[in-house]
Amino acid sequence: MNLQLDEHGRLRHFLSTEGLPRELLTQILDTAESFSGVIGKSVKKVPLLRGRTVMNLFFEASTRTRTTFELAAKRLSADVINMDISTSSAVKGESLLDTLRNLEAMQCDMFVVRHGDSGAAHFIARHALPGVSVINAGDGRHAHPTQAMLDMFTIRRHKGEFEPLRIAIVGDILHSRVARSQIHALNGLGAGEVRVIAPRTLLPRQVEDLGVHVYYDIDQGLRDVDVIIMLRLQKERMAGALLPSESEYFRRYGLSAERVALAKPDAIVMHPGPTNRGVEIEAGVADGPQSVILEQVTNGIAVRMAVMSLAMGATGERA
Amino acid sequence: MNLQLDEHGRLRHFLSTEGLPRELLTQILDTAESFSGVIGKSVKKVPLLRGRTVMNLFFEASTRTRTTFELAAKRLSADVINMDISTSSAVKGESLLDTLRNLEAMQCDMFVVRHGDSGAAHFIARHALPGVSVINAGDGRHAHPTQAMLDMFTIRRHKGEFEPLRIAIVGDILHSRVARSQIHALNGLGAGEVRVIAPRTLLPRQVEDLGVHVYYDIDQGLRDVDVIIMLRLQKERMAGALLPSESEYFRRYGLSAERVALAKPDAIVMHPGPTNRGVEIEAGVADGPQSVILEQVTNGIAVRMAVMSLAMGATGERA
Amino acid sequence: MNLQLDEHGRLRHFLSTEGLPRELLTQILDTAESFSGVIGKSVKKVPLLRGRTVMNLFFEASTRTRTTFELAAKRLSADVINMDISTSSAVKGESLLDTLRNLEAMQCDMFVVRHGDSGAAHFIARHALPGVSVINAGDGRHAHPTQAMLDMFTIRRHKGEFEPLRIAIVGDILHSRVARSQIHALNGLGAGEVRVIAPRTLLPRQVEDLGVHVYYDIDQGLRDVDVIIMLRLQKERMAGALLPSESEYFRRYGLSAERVALAKPDAIVMHPGPTNRGVEIEAGVADGPQSVILEQVTNGIAVRMAVMSLAMGATGERA
């Protein structure tokens, strides 16, 4: 049984893009499409979640991601409570469960969870009371499914169908929850070919089992792709000797205008932000005509509105 | 004259459970009962305080308590402003008054005040402008009246009338504003017998004057009670040599399943949370069938909605 | 072309009181007048900005100023997102622009910006997308225009027309963005005579070019004025040897009851708060019958509502 679905196969929690049926992934994109009209208007609000309470439960600080969830919830007319819970107070296992039970007792309808440990959102969802939904806003190295879905939304808007597409994900695949969720989403939506491009030290073992083609050479890997997805380089990896210097990294794996030219002429360039200009991407490329980086941010609101309203059973479609 | 009441004897500030007439305490419980239906619904909102502004003025950090007030205010449709004012900047006396005057000038309707000094909420209420209500969310060792009232609400739901009840409060009575407010509320509501159970070092002088029976031996004190209220042990007291080790404390005053069995068979177990499992209460008891600890949290929202709406003269009853 | 106005001469950004036409300054005051009725009512809300998103972008902490903007936005029914961005992470130049682009991509309608660097709000406004308004909530030593306008509002309420007025601004003119904005607003509104009173070390060079009369002696400068505006003394200036001791400063430039008596009998005393009693102003004067300090705070909400709604083109007048 899939923890993410209710007994009718509808979304209840959104924890991972792995193992979700294609229809559900498509329903999220279609619902987001309907909301993207709303947020372009001057009154950017729909009353779908009026009177519901969304709690942003951030065990790992991320002002940016929290803000997008807060905006999405407010545009659905929900009440939002922000709880920043430092991991220093080590809220784990039984104690995490105790915290959860107390927050549930306050009659919240949804937890948006960010946590440094892989599996934290699943753990919370597994123990959540009936009627409470859990959204994973990033857990350890495991998953960041709303980021992946906003990327899918952005790709679909520019490229239409997924089947004919060739997509390259470039950078630190090993430590990236974003990459993992993107790969599962792309496979779930039937993308033609998914490539990962990285040095050996930044690839998980047996990464091919995820259904991707591996390239160690970026110039080969980018050839004829429709979509280039750059990952953010966590600079703290440098200290760990997994990586050469920043300039050496840029020389070997950074996205320059010359490299963009290896892809199809109408290829789009994506990045989850914030970019490290000059490290994984050239400033001119990040701001260039093929970049859709800011569109990704905009689409993130509509996609999060879609996931939240679907998980709370509050879409117009089902009403 | 009672600072808490207006000239018609209605609630204006809620600072302490001490000296409030039984009718008023009962009115708070009855009003909370009417709201507890609201928060069980999917649209958990009533428009009673629409357009009013509630300011959470926390001079002492307490995310948990602040969140319950924030939720209660939002469910009444009020606007909420959170102000965390560290005590390190020493906001006292004239300077506290100056801060207060400035916040009042912003046309707030209510201050929810948490402060490390006993009497801070009274001080603020004494100087508040007409039309501004003050709610005490905990002041020093003095009072925590909304916590006490949610406990009363929980007791009434399980036990009905207060007259026939025998209630035991166990733990660090000396430092507990919760215990003090509970004792006054229980006496005000006419509870049959209130017992306090604690080592001599953790009892206030002349505690009997509060109208309680004192027990130093928990096994004697719990005999035949209807309600067991455990207090949270502030671990920092340990350092002060007032207490033996945690395990020794648990051996002498901790609530085990064996000790619960000394009370009436249908006795309920309460705790203001968060629990120190294995210190003042056994995990199995905290999560056991007689525990109503999570109900207390849920009831806390309804009770705070009741107190806030009554103090702002915004209940349906008076409309 | 004035960055603050759109092509029809209407307010788009509010960055400075300098160079704004008198009609516009008057329109802000008139609009604030219409809102000041709203915030005196128990339902202090108008739906003018429903569905709009205001982002408080504070690169410099100021709980008090942020709160007044948050209140103003909520009373206009806008959604408010608070972003506290420490300057330690050095968000400047290109990087500030990158942050801005990302926040704009979230479809915010307005940024309220506080920044330690002079010119930061102008920089952001210059790069803002169409449809996004920027309000300066204080930038370095440069400007604090909403503070100046609430002061103008307060003066007009007490004194009516500006033409016949003689106004003295007293204190650290050199470092004060408030003083600079007040001087421009007073000149723009046609005030009869603006005096600045300060020691030489706390006056900008060629301050006369701003259109003010300079007094080094407070007893001479206060003679026959209608309005006394005291500035807050930043105590950290003391260390910089620009100033004598606090008591010496008070002796030479502090506002005592005796000095108030030098002004006209019906002169009003103003201060942007929080006051340093005994340093720049005597406690008895700050709380005395001629003080309008708390009115300034109250007026600050109405004036900020006016600026926000005008900049978003959402006033009743234009509907």
CB pair distance less than 8 Å for A274 and C98: yes
**C90 burial level (CB within 10 Å; 0-12, 13-18, 19+):** exposed
DSSP class of residue A274 equals -
Residues near A98 by beta carbon (within 8 Å), at least 6 away in sequence: B274, B275
Q: How many CA atoms lie within 13 A of B271 on its CB side?
A: 26
Residue of chain A whose Cα is closest to the Cα of C109: A42
Chains adjacent to C (≥3 CB pairs closer than 8 angstroms): A, B
pLDDT tens-place string over residues A69-122: 999 999 999 999 988 776 444 454 557 888 888 899 999 999 999 998 999 999
pLDDT tens-place string over residues C257-273: 999 999 999 999 999 98
- Could you give the CA distance from residue C150 to residue C72 in angstroms, rounded to a whole number? 13
CB pair distance less than 8 Å for C71 and B106: yes
DSSP A5-58: B-TTS-B--B--STT--HHHHHHHHHHHHHHHHHTTSSS----TTTT-EEEEEE
Amino acid residing at A189: L
Residue C317, pLDDT score: 40
pLDDT tens-place string over residues A34-64: 999 877 777 788 999 999 999 999 988 888 8
Query: Which residue, among C38, C111, C50, has the nearest Cα to C76 in the 3D structure?
Result: C50
Partners of residue C101 in chain A, C-beta under 8 Å: 294
**Closest CB from B51, B106, B109 relative to C67:** B106
Q: Which parts of chain B register pLDDT below 70?
A: 1, 86-94, 236-242, 314-319
Tokens 């969870």: give the residue.
A113
Residues near A55 by beta carbon (within 8 Å), at least 6 away in sequence: A80, A81, A83, A103, A108, A110, A111, A112
Provide the chain A residues 48-87 that lie in CB contact (below 8 A) with chain B.
50-53, 79, 81, 83, 85
Residue A99, pLDDT score: 84
Residue A22, pLDDT score: 97
Residue B57, pLDDT score: 93
B39 touches chain A (CB under 8 A): yes
Segment A219-241 mean pLDDT? 85
B102 touches chain C (CB under 8 A): yes
What is the C-alpha radius of gyration for chain B, rounded to an integer number of angstroms? 19
Q: What share of chain A is helix, strand, coil (3-state, %, to 5)?
A: 40, 15, 40
Segment C190-195 mean pLDDT? 98
pLDDT band at residue C144 under the 50/70/90 scheme: very high
CB pair distance less than 8 Å for C39 and B98: no
- Could you give the CA distance from residue A231 to residue A218 in angstroms, rounded to a whole number? 13
**Closest CB from A44, A64, A301 relative to C51:** A44
Going along chain B from its start, the domains and CATH numbers come out as 22-143+298-318 (3.40.50.1370), 145-292 (3.40.50.1370)
Residue C241, pLDDT score: 62
CA distances from C226 to A48, C259, C290 (A): 55, 13, 11
**C86 burial level (CB within 10 Å; 0-12, 13-18, 19+):** exposed
Tokens 């959104």: give the residue.
A14
Segment C137-153 mean pLDDT? 96
Q: How far is B102 from chain C (nearest CA, A)?
A: 6
pLDDT band at residue A253 under the 50/70/90 scheme: very high
Residue C315, pLDDT score: 53
pLDDT tens-place string over residues C1-17: 589 999 999 999 999 99
pLDDT tens-place string over residues C34-57: 999 877 777 788 999 999 999 999
pLDDT tens-place string over residues C260-318: 999 999 999 999 988 989 999 999 999 999 999 999 999 999 999 999 999 998 654 43
Residue C319, pLDDT score: 32
CB pair distance less than 8 Å for C79 and A64: no
C43 touches chain B (CB under 8 A): yes
pLDDT band at residue C94 under the 50/70/90 scheme: low
- Could you give the CA distance from residue B14 to residue B4 in angstroms, rounded to a whole number? 6
Q: Is the pLDDT reported for residue C88 higher than 70? A: no
Q: What is the ipTM of this complex?
A: 0.87
Task: With H, G, I as helix, E, B as strand and everything else as coil, classify residue A5.
Answer: strand
Token pair for A39: 């947020």
Partners of residue A35 in chain C, C-beta under 8 Å: none
Q: How far is A75 from chain C (nearest CA, A)?
A: 7
Residue B314, pLDDT score: 67
B44 touches chain A (CB under 8 A): yes
CB pair distance less than 8 Å for B51 and C45: yes
Tokens 């306008």: give the residue.
C149
Residue C190, pLDDT score: 98
Strand intervals (E) in B63-192: 79-84, 110-115, 133-139, 166-170
Token pair for C262: 């030098």
Sign of CA dihedral B67, B69, B70, B75: positive
Q: Is the pLDDT reported for residue A316 higher than 70? A: no
Q: How far is B296 from chain A (nearest CA, A)?
A: 8
Residue of chain B whose Cα is closest to the Cα of A312: B42
Residue C89, pLDDT score: 47
Task: With H, G, I as helix, E, B as strand and everything else as coil, classify residue C247.
Answer: helix
Residues near A265 by beta carbon (within 8 Å), at least 6 away in sequence: none
pLDDT band at residue C90 under the 50/70/90 scheme: very low
Token pair for A71: 């905006």
pTM: 0.91
Residue A286 neighbours by CB distance under 10 Å: 21
Segment A246-268 mean pLDDT? 95
